[in-house]
Amino acid sequence: PEPTGLGNYGGRYLRYGVREHGMAAISNGIAAYGANIPFASTFLNFISYAAGASRLSALGKLRVLYVMTHDSIGLGEDGPTHQPIETLAMLRATPNYLNFRPADGNEVSGAYMAALLHADHPSVFSLTRQNVPHLEGSSVENTLKGGYSLQTIGPDSGAGGAVPDLIIVGTGSETSLAVDTARLLADKHSLVVKVVSMPCLELFDAQPDAYRHEVLTPGVPSVSVEALATFGWHKYVHHPIGIDTFGLSAPYKEAYERVGLTPDAVAAKALKVVDYYKKNPVPTLALQF
């Protein structure tokens, strides 16, 4: 009641305070009733506090949209208590979830479209705190496929679909880092590098074999770059680059430098991968039987 000064029952928003589990549980009830499509929002790391109820979103096939911000060490000075590392790996391991980590505005739009089209799945949107550039080659339509070839960079990269020397897979804010790394490898080492954007692994896994192997070209060494745990990425790439320790309190650019997520550092690791597979067979990944 208004005389209490605590607000009223008008409007479309519920203010939960620091009550992540209650927020997710109530969202499940709204979704189950069926009149509305609820969304719930907090920092990505704190969906862990909602895990009991958010897991039931997936088990119950409830279309709840979890809008999770501050999705990496990019949140900066709040430090490791607020910085998700293992969180997205946990969510990706949960059946029936769609987990989106969009790279730019086009991919955010595509993620929302996909979430609304999949009525029996909850969705998680992992969104950055820091600004990200609009990427050439991104699109709403390709986001619906979960992963796609964003750009190919390097000498003769546009000539007849030449097989690249390396694939770099990026998600979210690290997709632009993948593009910058590809340019560095092309300029300094004359490599042809395909950059793949992978906003949703679950949607990518649902694509036909032919499409997935078109994106992740068999016989080509590959790395991924994501400012989160590397757990789960060996299914898709030969060497995942990420963070397998807790984060740190620092301005986000300094934090990225400390954990080796810069174009120079990623390029150095990528060159080792390319050199290794010059002498060894390149396994075909992302097989499904």
The residues carrying an active-site annotation are 20
Measured CA to CA, the distance from residue 216 to residue 214 in angstroms comes to 6
Measured in degrees and rounded to the nearest 5, phi and psi for residue 41 equal -145, 135
Compute the CA torsion angle 176, 179, 181, 184 (nearest 10 deg). Answer: -130
The interaxial angle of helices 263-279 and 174-189, nearest 10 deg, is 60
Measured CA to CA, the distance from residue 66 to residue 127 in angstroms comes to 11
What tokens does 154 get?
Answer: 């390097």
39: closest CA among 115, 120, 145, 143? 115
The interaxial angle of helices 51-59 and 20-33, nearest 10 deg, is 20
Burial label, 211 (beta-carbon count in 10 A; 0-12, 13-18, 19+): middle
Q: How many residues does the chain have?
A: 289
Long-range Cβ contacts of 255-261 (<8 Å, 24+ apart) = 255/73, 255/74, 255/76, 256/73, 256/74, 256/227, 259/73, 259/227, 261/174, 261/177, 261/225, 261/227
Could you count the other beta carbons within 10 Å of the beta carbon of residue 215? 23
- Bridge partner residues of 69 (DSSP): 43
